[in-house]
Structure 1
Amino acid sequence: MSPTPNPRAAARPAAAGNEDIRALWHDPRLGLNDAQRAAYGRLLAEWAAAVRADVVTAV
């Protein structure tokens, strides 16, 4: 095991982030307020990091 944690490792799986995004924006016909947009941005960044962490480099 590496002595330092992997900075690319996601804290939560991508599916969990996706679920939170869907719950936040449950009706795409409705816009998000400022606080919701900020939360959406954080969730989207978290989700993207989790997806990147799941990518396996081919050898």
Structure 2
Amino acid sequence: MSRDSVAPGSVRSAAEVNEQIRALWLRAGGTLSAQERAEYELLVVEWAAAMRGEVVAAA
């Protein structure tokens, strides 16, 4: 993963993670390498967890 990635268990907002996902796609030019794909998958899982946390907090 990139050097600015955050360790597992850290708390970032869904918006922050989404921004990192968008940056990854821009850097990759729309085609992900195997390493970028692995990073993308981790980011999507983190984004989904952040979304769940934000929905629970709002409730």
TM-score (norm 2): 0.70
Q: CA deviation at 1:31?
A: 1.2
Secondary structure (helix, strand or coil) at the match of 2:26 reads: coil
Runs of 5+ in structure 2 lacking a partner? 1-9
2: CA distance, partners of 1:16 / 1:37: 19
Q: CA deviation at 1:28?
A: 8.2
RMSD: 2.3
Secondary structure (helix, strand or coil) at the match of 1:41 reads: helix
2: CA distance, partners of 1:53 / 1:20: 18
Paired letter, 1:24 = L
Q: Which runs of 4+ in 1 moved over 6 A?
A: none
> Deviations along 1:17-37, whole A, 9 cap, x unmatched?
000000000178631000000
TM-score (norm 1): 0.70
In terms of fraction of residues, the more helix-rich structure is 2
The aligned residue for residue 41 of structure 1 is 41
Paired letter, 2:55 = V
Runs of 5+ in structure 1 lacking a partner? 1-9
Paired letter, 1:43 = L
